[in-house]
Amino acid sequence: MVRKNRQARVKRPRRPRVVRGWIAANQRAVWYAAAGSLAAILYAIAAPVEAAVYGAPVLVALFVTAARCAALVVAVRWPVVGVIVFTISSAVVRFEVAPPGAPWPWSVTAIVEFTALVFAVWSLHGWRRGLVAYLVPGLVISAMAQLDFDGGSMAGGIVALSVGAVAAGVGTLVRDRVRVGAALDKERQLGLVEQERRLVAEERQRIARELHDVVAHGLSLIQIQATSAPYRVTGVTPEAAAEFADIARSARGSLAEMRQLLGALRGDDEPAERAPQPTVGDIPALVGETRRAGANITLAMPEGTEAPPAQGIAAYRIVQEAISNAMRHAPGARIDVVVDVIGGVLAIDIANDAPETPPAQSRPGHGLVGMRERATILGGSLDAARTNDGGFRVLARLPLGAHGEESR
């Protein structure tokens, strides 16, 4: 019976990769979180400054500063609205004469907010809206310096516009980096899809070559039986003999056409395979060869287990590939192979323990793709996942019903 003490589970991906994937899929949410956090911090600083340093009424300082900080969050989704709210709320509290010794009309918090606004709009919405976010508040607030023009007000305007220009440049770089990264991710995904399709097509060709022998054997038997029937059976009428001859001729034609099709699939440069295809009965020999090679492997398979040719080939190849993967990725680990027929289904279970030593780095292949394709073509299923103890397990189910009857 198939072992039940090993509960398979999907291996958890690494946390940094998960975090990066979540950020890439929720960029707008990340921007909202960052803008909201910065707005809350600046509001806690700017509101007291407006009331204490610039002499604004407390309610005015609270509400106007709240609107100015909220504009940073609004600009993430609606950049023009955010720019207008920021500009109006910043100008409202600057219609009075500059207080002595305080930066005016640009306060330190206003410069930080203006820099964050320009950076966010330029990064998220491009240079056109970013230019609006830079020029409109930059010129309007700087123009307030005409109410009390002096060297300090000019210096504040120069600092604000200079820092805003730097924010615009950084925003441009960030936007280009995000756009290029998204394009590369899309190309990478398309490449993976195409590679998967190519691997599936190659595996289907390989399966077709193996199944060729199964069908060719049946057609050859039909041809031989139809050709020899008039000589083996007594009392065959001329009409029946002609029918037998037609059957033999059709079998020969079908066999020739199938070989031509196989040659087209194989390619002109690839030699044809002449060795007989393996069956379920060859699995013990495969396990024995693996054991002689030094692997710690066991096999549980009832004596006399049989399967139709197609299922037999698929079972052998699945076991072969699973053992090869276990030896490659878990050298020295115990490998248990279970093959049995349960309720008209050929059940295959290959499990290995956790590796005793870290395996050597190897490029990922397409063994699992091929095994799953073999099972799917025959109407079965294949599951592969890591186990709780750090090993790996492959479970395949190959139905023997309709396919088995057709093969017979």
pLDDT tens for each residue of 34-58: 999 999 999 999 999 988 888 888 8
User: What average pLDDT does range 178-193 have in this prediction?
Assistant: 82
240-260 confidence digits (pLDDT tens): 888 888 888 888 787 777 766
Question: What's the rounded Cα separation, in Å, for the pair 243 and 230?
Answer: 10
**Residue 261 and residue 294 in one domain:** no
The answer to whether residue 112 sits within a structural domain is: yes
Residue 215, both tokens: 């069908």
Which of 365, 363, 367, 333 lies closest to 351, judged by CA? 333
**Residue 127 and residue 217 in one domain:** no
| Percentage of the residues of the chain whose pLDDT score is greater than 70 | 79
Q: What is the pLDDT of residue 7?
A: 41
pLDDT at 209 over 70: no
Task: Using pLDDT thresholds of 50, 70 and 90, give the confidence band for residue 6.
Answer: very low
User: What average pLDDT does range 148-166 have in this prediction?
Assistant: 82
**Residue 258 and residue 297 in one domain:** no
The answer to whether residue 113 sits within a structural domain is: yes
**Residue 47 and residue 134 in one domain:** yes
In contact, 31 and 120? CB cutoff 8 Å:
yes
Domain end residue (candidates: 127, 160, 190): 190
> Which residues span the domain enclosing 80?
15-190
The answer to whether residue 201 sits within a structural domain is: no
Question: Over 3-44, what HEC string results?
Answer: CCCCCEECCCCCHHHHHHHHHHHCHHHHHHHHHHHHHHHHHH
Q: What is the pLDDT of residue 298?
A: 94
The answer to whether residue 273 sits within a structural domain is: no
**Residue 186 and residue 318 in one domain:** no
In contact, 392 and 329? CB cutoff 8 Å:
yes
Q: Residue 344, CB half-sphere, CA atoms under 13 Å: how many?
A: 8
The answer to whether residue 156 sits within a structural domain is: yes
User: What average pLDDT does range 301-322 have in this prediction?
Assistant: 89
Ranges 124-138, 176-190, 263-277: which has the least confidence: 263-277
**Residue 226 and residue 171 in one domain:** no
Task: Using pLDDT thresholds of 50, 70 and 90, give the confidence band for residue 77.
Answer: very high
Question: What's the rounded Cα separation, in Å, for the pair 125 and 128?
Answer: 8
Torsions phi, psi of 387, nearest 5?
-100, 170
| Percentage of the residues of the chain whose pLDDT score is greater than 90 | 32
Q: What is the pLDDT of residue 9?
A: 39
Sign of the dihedral through C-alpha 84, 87, 91, 93: positive
Say how many domains are in the chain: 3
Domain end residue (candidates: 214, 239, 266): 266
Strand partners, 381: 397
Which of 255, 267, 188, 208 lies closest to 21, judged by CA? 188
Look-up: residue for tokens 């918090």?
109
In contact, 257 and 216? CB cutoff 8 Å:
no
Task: Using pLDDT thresholds of 50, 70 and 90, give the confidence band for residue 2.
Answer: very low
Q: What is the pLDDT of residue 69?
A: 93
Sign of the dihedral through C-alpha 135, 136, 137, 142: positive
Distance of CA 266 to the CA centre of its chain: 31
In contact, 214 and 236? CB cutoff 8 Å:
no
The answer to whether residue 272 sits within a structural domain is: no
User: What average pLDDT does range 308-334 have in this prediction?
Assistant: 87
**Residue 260 and residue 286 in one domain:** no
pLDDT at 166 over 50: yes
Q: What is the pLDDT of residue 382?
A: 94
pLDDT at 305 over 50: yes
Q: What is the pLDDT of residue 76?
A: 93
Q: Higher-confidence residue: 74 or 198?
A: 74
**Residue 22 and residue 165 in one domain:** yes
> DSSP secondary-structure letter at 235?
T
Distance of CA 59 to the CA centre of its chain: 53
User: What average pLDDT does range 320-339 have in this prediction?
Assistant: 88
Q: What is the pLDDT of residue 16?
A: 55
Single-letter amino acid, residue 248:
A
The answer to whether residue 158 sits within a structural domain is: yes
Cite the beta strand spans of 262-306 per DSSP E.
297-300
**Residue 322 and residue 261 in one domain:** no
> DSSP secondary-structure letter at 379?
T
**Residue 28 and residue 88 in one domain:** yes
pLDDT at 277 over 90: no
Task: Using pLDDT thresholds of 50, 70 and 90, give the confidence band for residue 170.
Answer: very high
105-149 confidence digits (pLDDT tens): 888 899 999 999 999 999 999 999 999 999 999 999 888 877 666
pLDDT at 271 over 60: no
The answer to whether residue 61 sits within a structural domain is: yes
pLDDT at 335 over 80: yes
Question: What's the rounded Cα separation, in Å, for the pair 230 and 139?
Answer: 105
Mean pLDDT of the chain: 81
**Residue 301 and residue 244 in one domain:** no
User: What average pLDDT does range 196-213 have in this prediction?
Assistant: 68
**Residue 177 and residue 227 in one domain:** no
Task: Using pLDDT thresholds of 50, 70 and 90, give the confidence band for residue 97.
Answer: low
